[in-house]
Structure 1
Amino acid sequence: MKILVPVKRVIDYNVKVRVKSDGSGVDLANVKMSMNPFDEVAIEEAVRLKEAGIASEVVAVSAGVAACQETLRTAMALGADRSILIVTDEELQPLAVAKLLKAVCDKEAPQMVIPGKQAIDDDANQTGQMLAALLGWPQATFASKVVVNADKTGAAVTREIDGGLETIEISLPAVVTTDLRLNEPRYATLPNIMKAKKKPLETTTPEALGVDVKPRLKTLKVAEPAKRAGGVKVADVAALVDKLKNEAKVI
């Protein structure tokens, strides 16, 4: 059983994001980059399935600039067997990524794809669902527990919903997107980091995969959230209602 895990290179979650002065996007100059936290959970889950004897191979895949090799090396240091980098300087939107992943799935024929439920840079939460639709596979999103059947033809997935937890059964192959509570990712040890340098890293391009990744959406402007105003004390309930009605306009 082969598992494919998409990983994304994003601004490290500890870094304060800065917007460019012209409002055209986020400033990435001299900013620490790392693997998307939800993708770390996905890698950990795939590696655990391999350690349990359920999966035979874990393949990490990423799309973006050449520097994404660092993210893939991290994935291999965490336990992935090999990786694939789709090199492009184009701005990649969720649909384009889903099409690229479908092309990789057509070539690799995995039994399960485990993406993080969303990336912390755009919070789109779309790629996994789009990929399942393009492949025509079952999908289970926001997974907090994954149990693969003994015959490896299906899985029971516990997912987090607004009302609590929901457990569904899906047939394989399938797409399962991970939530943060699925597991706690391990740290990459120095010996595994050294071993990762020798693991296979294949590179390709969108053109080689026959995928058009030109953006379909245009970003008009990026701006920082408005700073919250300081709180005020009111004399009584009547004054509170007046402010909520006439100033905040929420009632």
Structure 2
Amino acid sequence: MKVLVPVKRVIDYNVKVRVKADGSGVDLANVKMSMNPFDEIAVEAAIRLREAGTATEVVVVSIGVKQAQETLRTALAMGADRAILVEAASDVHQDIEPLAVAKILKGVVEAEQPGLVICGKQAIDNDMNATGQMLSALLGWSQATFASDLAIEGDAAVVTREVDGGMQTIKVKMPTVVTVDLRMNEPRYASLPNIMKAKKKPLEEKTAADFGVDVTPRLSVVKTSEPAGRKAGVMVGSVDELIAKLKDEAGVI
């Protein structure tokens, strides 16, 4: 079984994001970029399936700018077998919207014919949480979202997923699209020998036009601003004073 894993190049989660002075977006100049953390978890899950003998090949795909090659090489260093880069933008500030990404991924899936697609549940830059679900709908496949555990049983996938009330275990028919959450696993670090080997692993380059997808944005950013600073807390001397402040000042009771 072949497993396909989409990965996205995003601002590293350790970086403090700064907004441009004109409010037109986020400043990406000289900013460290890395693989979306949820996608790292998806890559790790796919590699573990291959190591267990359930999967035969792990293919990673990234959609965006040319620089996403670095992200794909990271996934190859972790243990993925080969990579596909779909160059869909030349400007690093252009974020390909989820529907366009899902349409391109549909074309990749039809070409590669995987038995399973594992995605991160969302990207930490736009927090859309939509690509996996859209891809499932476009393909007509089953889906299991927010997965914290995944097992393959014959022609079905058994997925434990996080829901508001706790944990839910479901069985979905394959082929399927699974989006993973933080509790799925802890991604491995790429060793130096594997980083060197990753440079020789195949990386195929395509464009959005190869799949007949128009990536022109449907949304426009009106303004970007930093969150307002939080006011300092207030110490109260008694329960009665707390209740009075909640009632008279905060108006919550």
With normalisation by structure 2, the TM-score equals 0.94
1:64-103 equivalences under 5 Å are: 64-89=64-89, 90-103=94-107
User: Residue 38 of structure 1 contacts residue 119 of structure 1 at CA under 8 Å; is this kept in 2?
Assistant: yes
1:191 aligned residue (188, 193, 201): 193
Q: Distance in 2 between matches of 1:56 and 1:107?
A: 17
The residue aligned with 1:154 is 156
User: Residue 91 of structure 1 contacts residue 214 of structure 1 at CA under 8 Å; is this kept in 2?
Assistant: no
| 1:137 and 2:141 aligned | yes
The residue aligned with 2:46 is 46
The residue aligned with 1:110 is 114
Q: Indicate the larger mover: 70-79 or 209-218.
A: 209-218
* Consecutive unaligned residues in structure 2, runs of 5 or more: none
Q: Distance in 1 between matches of 2:241 and 2:70?
A: 57
Deviation at 1:68, TM superposition (A): 0.2
| 1:203 and 2:205 aligned | yes
With normalisation by structure 1, the TM-score equals 0.95
How many positions carry a matched residue from both structures? Answer: 249
User: Residue 144 of structure 1 contacts residue 157 of structure 1 at CA under 8 Å; is this kept in 2?
Assistant: yes
Shift in CA distance, 91/184, structure 1 to aligned 2, threshold 3 Å: closer
The residue aligned with 1:180 is 182
Q: Distance in 2 between matches of 1:164 and 1:145?
A: 14
Deviation at 1:124, TM superposition (A): 1.1
C-alpha deviations, 1:24-46, integer Å up to 9, x for none?
A: 11111101111011111100010
The residue aligned with 2:27 is 27
User: Residue 96 of structure 1 contacts residue 213 of structure 1 at CA under 8 Å; is this kept in 2?
Assistant: yes
Identity %: 67
Q: Indicate the larger mover: 50-59 or 83-92.
A: 83-92
Deviation at 1:163, TM superposition (A): 1.2
C-alpha deviations, 1:189-230, integer Å up to 9, x for none?
A: 011111100011011111111011111111111111111101
| 1:229 and 2:227 aligned | no
User: Residue 155 of structure 1 contacts residue 171 of structure 1 at CA under 8 Å; is this kept in 2?
Assistant: yes
Deviation at 1:238, TM superposition (A): 5.6
Deviation at 1:88, TM superposition (A): 2.2
